[in-house]
A and B are shown apart, each in its own frame.
Chain A
Amino acid sequence: MAGTNQIQTLSVEASTEHLAKVRDFVAAHAESIGLSQKDISEIRLAVDEAYTNIIKHAYKNSPTEKVSIEIGSDAKKLWISLMDEGKSFDPNTYSEPDLMQRIKEKKRGGMGVYLIKKVMDQVQYNRTGKTNEIRMVKKL
């Protein structure tokens, strides 16, 4: 809805058990503002990849840690932020995955950030004090 500015938040434990809930949370917001099925699918994928990376890399699979997720939108954009207090991610260490190479080396990770960048228009990493934030923006 043009001119509205809605923000919703969700706090979840860092466990893959909650992936479906996290995807449904952002999809519900995207649906409520009338986004297309394609956009909704892409937003579900972006939040899934960001949350999975936090579980695996920031918190190294310790399921009692917490992740805060915020989604908001206005007439021009939709944004999603995920916040954690784990190990921070250095975006400078990231390189675009070469699928053939990864298959040969039997590496299966490292594709999440690439997918996020493909489906969202803007991705930023911030660290304030102990808190890491990944903020992803989709233009509407």
Chain B
Amino acid sequence: MKNFSIATRQNENVSILDISGELDAHTASHLENALKSLIDEESYAIIVNCSGLDYIASAGLGVFMAYIEDVRSLGGDIKLTNMNDRVYNVFDLLGFPTLYDILEDEREALQSFDN
């Protein structure tokens, strides 16, 4: 997909997804597959680093909504980091900051998994 890319890294027991480009109804399945693979591999401590993310629509938010309960019930979490203001604004409009851990940077998210 030309305008969206995703890569997975590992930091000890935490899986980090680096997402970049535009996340919409066309590209959301890409993120969904990556999250599903992590869950299938029983990797439940997940950070989604949004530093390269230029744009998100509700179809992208829907992916985070679909998996958060399962991941948390298995003892993990999906933490979001490094969002630009425009992307954060969309999460904020729907009330995500009260239900999701949205952090400034990846280091903070790694620390919060340690605790």
Contact = CB atoms under 8 A, between A and B. Distances in A.
B90 A108 contact: no
A139 interface: no
A99 B94 contact: yes
A118 interface: yes
Interface residues of A, number: 31
Nearest to B32: A108
A16 interface: yes
A3 to B, nearest CB: 30
Interface residues of B, number: 24
Contact of B99 (A16, A20, A37, A103): A103
Interface of A: 16-17, 19-20, 23, 37-38, 41, 44-45, 48-49, 52, 55-56, 97, 99-100, 102-104, 106-109, 111-112, 114-115, 118-119
Interface of B: 3, 22, 24-26, 55, 57-59, 61-63, 65-66, 68-69, 86, 89-90, 93-96, 99
6 contacts: A45-B57, A49-B57, A52-B25, A52-B57, A114-B94, A115-B94
